[in-house]
Amino acid sequence: MPARTSLSGFPEWLPAERIVEQHILDQLRETFELHGFASIETRAVETLDDLLRKGETSKEVYLLERLQDQLQERSDSKKERTLGLHFDLTVPFARYVLDNAGELQFPFRRYQIQKVWRGERPQDGRFREFTQADIDIVGNGTLAFHHEVEIPLVILEAFSKLPIPPVTVLVNNRKIVQGFCEGIGVENVEQALRSIDKLDKIGPEGVRAEMEEFDFQAEQIDQLLKLAQISGDDQSVLNEVRALGVSNELLEEGLEELGALLAAGEKRAPHRLRAELKITRGLDYYTGTVYETELEGHKDLGSICSGGRYDSLASDGKRSYPGVGISIGVSRLVSRILAEGLATASRSVPTAVLVAVMNEESREASQDVAATLRARGIATEVSPNSQKFGKQIRYADRRGIPFVWFIGEDGAHEVKDIRSGEQQSADPQTWRPPAEDLKPTVKLGE
């Protein structure tokens, strides 16, 4: 863990690490905006009622109390409604949509990049503050299926631009599992999901033993285990499911949706989108396609980006708002990148040029050069001191600033690339650093 913070679970980054995080956030924003998602931010707090509306008591909530109320031991009746910090961006987004339904245009495409908080026990070592990046498309009353195809393609495009190993989106569809269960006469779908969820952990025989305890028939268990072991990135997946011989209308609808999704993946993100019919997480909540993701070489990290289709994000009694969305766990990803040096920043400051100062009387001439370079978009600092040039070069070197600018006693201007030592005369009105040195860059390591 590169975070040097005095409170566990609240990660903080050093300047060079922050450049990696900023680069990732900038890239995500750029991709989301290229696809027409509008930015919103919601307040950090929601009422406790809203936070617990979906029965999310398992999510640890941080409650807020005003210090003054505590000091004055104010009775509860004098306090306002209890407020808590949001633990995800879905609950606040649902509330925002209801608050502003009259002002928003539907389908509403929004992205939201914010911190969230979970009141985990400190000793559990989990993040208690972290950044999420969510995209959702929400309709008013209805939402077309093709948005379920769109979301994972946007995400794959976003990930493909990040300095990280390849990402695969794993998909399943509630309709397939639900329809399949109906088709083979399974009524307790939730238990079926719970048991299948343990497939990787306890193996097929473990799943079978558990399902037998819950009185599933041997043939039902066989069929569900066969279904759960189907995976693939092309239409052959559909044939494998159909070969199991189960006939059900909802199943067929789910297969058609999955087929359309895989076809789009084959065309627009080859081999990066894979059906995994054993995925059950979220199937109790979502109503259509569900998404998880796998970072190549980092399966232990779990899904760094998950989501799905829901038929009612929010409802005001009259209207409901169906949607589809996905959420990236940015801090978890950044933390892994930094801990393993997967990507690093080329320097720890935005500065491309340090203008040296010969003596304090000539500081103004150095400031003139800096102002000229900045006006041309080149990030420039003036040396804070007028010590020997060697010391000023070390100032730049320690920060990774690539160029130092000198004004000679004769008024001649020279710029030195302190990595190569190469020095040349230069005019602040026309000189430019190479494009790759203009701003700090972030590159995937070896």
- Between 65 and 104, how does the x/- string for binding to a second copy read (CB under 8 A)? xxxxxx---------x--xxx---------xx--xx--xx
**Is 136 marked as a binding-site residue?**
yes
Q: Tell me whether residue 1 or residue 63 sits nearer to a second copy (CB atom).
A: 63
Confirm or reject binding of residue 1 to a second copy (CB under 8 A): no
Confirm or reject binding of residue 63 to a second copy (CB under 8 A): yes
Q: Tell me whether residue 71 or residue 205 sits nearer to a second copy (CB atom).
A: 71
Tokens of 106: 């539907």
Residue 326 and residue 320: Cα distance in Å, rounded? 19
Q: To the nearest whole angstrom, how small is the minimum distance from the Cβ of residue 54 to a second copy? A: 15
Distances (CA, A) of 339 to 2, 26, 296, 444: 6, 21, 16, 13
Confirm or reject binding of residue 126 to a second copy (CB under 8 A): no
**Is 178 marked as a binding-site residue?**
no
Confirm or reject binding of residue 363 to a second copy (CB under 8 A): yes
- Residue 155: CA count within 13 A, CB half-sphere: 35
Query: Which residues, 6+ apart, have CB-to-CB distance to 261 below 8 Å?
Result: 148, 149, 152, 171, 273, 289
**Is 310 marked as a binding-site residue?**
no
Q: To the nearest whole angstrom, how small is the minimum distance from the Cβ of residue 68 to a second copy? A: 6
Tokens of 386: 């007028």
**Is 380 marked as a binding-site residue?**
no
Query: Which residues, 6+ apart, have CB-to-CB distance to 190 below 8 Å?
Result: 284
* From 29-37, 231-239, 244-252, 279-287, span contacting a second copy (CB under 8 A): 29-37
**Is 88 marked as a binding-site residue?**
yes
Residue 181 and residue 248: Cα distance in Å, rounded? 9
Q: To the nearest whole angstrom, how small is the minimum distance from the Cβ of residue 191 to a second copy? A: 28
**Is 285 marked as a binding-site residue?**
yes
Q: How many residues form the binding site for a second copy (CB under 8 A)?
A: 82
**Is 90 marked as a binding-site residue?**
yes
**Is 118 marked as a binding-site residue?**
yes
- Between 377 and 416, how does the x/- string for binding to a second copy read (CB under 8 A)? xxxxx--xx---------x--xx-----------------
Among 27, 235, 287, 348, binds a second copy (CB under 8 A): 348
Distances (CA, A) of 387 to 335, 367, 392, 425: 38, 16, 7, 22
Among 28, 45, 138, 333, binds a second copy (CB under 8 A): 45
Confirm or reject binding of residue 38 to a second copy (CB under 8 A): yes
Query: Which residues, 6+ apart, have CB-to-CB distance to 4 below 8 Å?
Result: 12, 14
Residue 160 and residue 375: Cα distance in Å, rounded? 33
Confirm or reject binding of residue 107 to a second copy (CB under 8 A): yes
* From 6-14, 172-180, 200-208, 228-236, span contacting a second copy (CB under 8 A): 6-14
Beta bridge mates, 136: 110, 325
Under rule CB under 8 A, which residues in 172-201 are in contact with a second copy?
none
Burial class (CB in 10 A: 0-12, 13-18, 19+), 76: exposed
Confirm or reject binding of residue 6 to a second copy (CB under 8 A): yes
Confirm or reject binding of residue 62 to a second copy (CB under 8 A): yes
Q: To the nearest whole angstrom, how small is the minimum distance from the Cβ of residue 119 to a second copy? A: 4
DSSP 4-60: --SSTT-----HHHHHHHHHHHHHHHHHHHHTTPEE----SEEEHHHHHTT--TTS-
Under rule CB under 8 A, which residues in 247-276 are in contact with a second copy?
268
Confirm or reject binding of residue 125 to a second copy (CB under 8 A): no
**Is 281 marked as a binding-site residue?**
yes
Distances (CA, A) of 250 to 178, 181, 253, 314, 378: 7, 10, 5, 24, 59
Confirm or reject binding of residue 358 to a second copy (CB under 8 A): no
Among 44, 189, 199, 358, binds a second copy (CB under 8 A): 44
Beta bridge mates, 320: 315
Q: To the nearest whole angstrom, how small is the minimum distance from the Cβ of residue 122 to a second copy? A: 5
Q: Residue 133: enclosing H or E segment and its boundaries?
A: strand 129-138
Residue 60 and residue 80: Cα distance in Å, rounded? 21
CB 323 within 8 A of CB 310: yes
Annotated binding residues, as ranges?
A: 88-90, 118, 132, 136, 281, 285-286
Binding residues for L-histidine: 88-90, 118, 132, 136, 281, 285-286
